[in-house]
Structure 1
Amino acid sequence: MKKGRSEMIVAGMVTIVVLAAIGVAFLSSHASKQPTTQSNHTLSKKELNKRSLPQLSNTVHKNEAVVEIKTTAGTMKVKLFKKYAPLAVKNFVKHAQQGYYNNTTFHRVINDFMVQGGDPTGTGSGGSSIWKDKNSKIDSGSGFKNEISASLYNIRGALSMANAGADTNGSQFFINQNHEDASAQIKKSDYPDKIVKAYAKGGNPSLDGNYTVFGQVIDGMDVVDKIADAEVKDNADGSEKSLPVDPVKVLSTVVTTK
């Protein structure tokens, strides 16, 4: 990330939390920490290099799904990883099938970082998961748990769950858009060699370990870049310039393979 990115993220998160209690904001203060991966810190470099890395292939396997996201800026196809993030994938797919994301916007956009959507209120503080509290049989409001895998990373094009802290995943998601070399930000011994090379093409390694990666854009990154390049203005309290002047809207989300 560029210098000052973490500080800007923290400021934006504080604002959203103040505005929306436990709302489903995007990035918490975790982003200001040194890059770490909770899933792989105990694995050796040899073990890491043996891990399956499904993001690096556009081939869709039997245990994966594809969702076509049609927007006012164009269409993108995203491969989803049910094997590694079953809760997040089921949540996203069911929302997609029910039209939950239709007419929602990419309400938070930071060029050379990420684009965020999935909030039916368009404010950054709304949205809920499909998962219900077993006792009350209604949405618990607290969100579902993070699913962190040593096979998935926040490389360019990665689809991840937005949260307001650990295990608060609802409906909001973000797509990592940064296209600048981010490999210098990581401790290379903590990452598979192929992921180190992938980060040289962009992404946000400081988010690894704190946000559930559950998909990868396999077609339409030009659309993601177009969304990220939109004109933005200050958000509600002026803490962050990330509110699109003319937000890109999701027209439909269609599960084409599962």
Structure 2
Amino acid sequence: MHKKLCLLPALALALLCACGKSETKTPPTRTEVVSGERQFTAPADGDTIAVFDTSLGEVRAVLYPDAAPMAVYNFVGLARSGYYDGTTIWRSEYGFAVQGGDATGTGTGGSTIWSNNPYPLEANVDLKHYAGALCAAFAAGGDLTGGNSQFYFVTALPDSVNGDMQADLTANGYSDGQVAAYAAAGGLPYLDNTDTVFGQVYQGMDVVDAMACVDTVKDDDGTDTYRPTDEAAITINSVTITTYSSADTAADNGLDAVG
């Protein structure tokens, strides 16, 4: 069993203090991460994917039902029911995450396909909170015993996991590949055993980064939640569940499909 990160109070503090504090929100330059880690491997034909049609553009993420079955099953069921259609991104923190999936638009609500009963944490040793990770979230101020309809995309900056943090990860049992992936992509490793990763963006990360750069206002309730202003509201028009096709991807890129 992977060692829990009760660790890193210094790492967690450093990352938390960096979240959402930049006055100049410049979309980061992200280079391709060359890694054997699952989240940086191209989806295979037939893999389940989610297509987010948003007011800022399209985001595509591959889902991992084998690693986080309840999180994926709940998300897929809600998406197919139209639950996410017309909802908003209610939280936007530069260098941290953007969060949605609450039909109330407040961050305090949510639902599940199990009569609104929560499902348990599904932390998986092979899935990490790298930039671009799609993760299950809890309602703000709610019961932390399980997840609901809310989700977030990690928007950590590429240089967010520095050398000292990498050394801490190694000391806490992370593989060389995982440490290297965090170093290259950035991420939020202190959440690895706290929240469930159930997918990864493979197309449209620039759209996710744009979500993290909109104008926000800070909640005055001690939660340090940054919400898009009314003028910068981000709408999720729909979430479509389908299967990945390399032929479709090649066509989208103006390439000839191979095979």
Q: Kindly state the Cα deviation for residue 191 of structure 1 after the two structures are TM-superposed.
A: 1.1
Q: Kindly state the Cα deviation for residue 196 of structure 1 after the two structures are TM-superposed.
A: 0.9
SS at match of 2:190: helix
How many residues align? The count is 207
Choose which of 153, 161, 170 in structure 2 pairs with 1:182: 161
Identify the residue that residue 79 of structure 1 maps to in structure 2. Answer: 62
Identify the residue that residue 25 of structure 2 maps to in structure 1. Answer: none
Q: Kindly state the Cα deviation for residue 5 of structure 1 after the two structures are TM-superposed.
A: 4.7
Identify the residue that residue 116 of structure 2 maps to in structure 1. Answer: 139
One-letter amino acid matched to 2:61: V
One-letter amino acid matched to 1:60: A
Identify the residue that residue 151 of structure 1 maps to in structure 2. Answer: 126
SS at match of 2:108: coil
SS at match of 1:214: strand
> Structure 2 matches for 1:95-174, cutoff 5 A?
95-131=78-114, 138-140=115-117, 143-163=118-138, 164=142, 166-174=144-152
Q: Kindly state the Cα deviation for residue 139 of structure 1 after the two structures are TM-superposed.
A: 3.1
SS at match of 2:237: strand
Q: Kindly state the Cα deviation for residue 6 of structure 1 after the two structures are TM-superposed.
A: 3.3
Change (3 A) 1:7 1:203: closer
Moved more, 169-178 or 52-61: 52-61
Q: CA separation in 2, counterparts of 1:195 and 1:226?
A: 26
SS at match of 1:93: helix
Q: CA separation in 2, counterparts of 1:231 and 1:166?
A: 29
Contact 1:166 1:210 in 2 (8 A): no
> Structure 2 matches for 1:237-252, cutoff 5 A?
237=221, 239-240=223-224, 242-245=226-229, 246-252=232-238
Q: TM-score, normalised by structure 2?
A: 0.73
Identical-residue share of aligned pairs (%): 35
One-letter amino acid matched to 1:172: Q
Runs of 4+ in 1 over 3 A off after TM superposition: 1-9, 164-167
Q: Kindly state the Cα deviation for residue 54 of structure 1 after the two structures are TM-superposed.
A: 2.1
Q: CA separation in 2, counterparts of 1:114 and 1:67?
A: 18
Q: CA separation in 2, counterparts of 1:219 and 1:8?
A: 26
Contact 1:111 1:177 in 2 (8 A): yes
**What RMSD, in angstroms, separates the aligned Cα atoms of the two structures?**
2.3
Choose which of 194, 212, 218 in structure 2 pairs with 1:228: 212
Identify the residue that residue 60 of structure 1 maps to in structure 2. Answer: 44
Q: CA separation in 1, counterparts of 2:144 and 2:18?
A: 20
Q: Kindly state the Cα deviation for residue 98 of structure 1 after the two structures are TM-superposed.
A: 1.1
> Structure 2 matches for 1:172-211, cutoff 5 A?
172-179=150-157, 180-183=159-162, 184-185=164-165, 186-189=168-171, 190-200=173-183, 201-211=185-195
Q: In the TM superposition, what whole-angstrom CA distance separates every residue of 1:215-236 from its partner, at most 9, and x where no partner exists? A: 0000000000000000011215
Unaligned residue ranges in structure 2 (runs of 5+): 1-10, 20-35, 245-259
Q: CA separation in 1, counterparts of 2:217 and 2:64?
A: 34
SS at match of 1:76: strand
Q: CA separation in 2, counterparts of 1:105 and 1:126?
A: 13
Q: TM-score, normalised by structure 1?
A: 0.74
Change (3 A) 1:110 1:76: same
> Structure 2 matches for 1:17-36, cutoff 5 A?
none
Q: Kindly state the Cα deviation for residue 188 of structure 1 after the two structures are TM-superposed.
A: 1.2
Unaligned residue ranges in structure 1 (runs of 5+): 10-51, 132-137
Identify the residue that residue 249 of structure 2 maps to in structure 1. Answer: none
Q: CA separation in 2, counterparts of 1:165 and 1:154?
A: 22
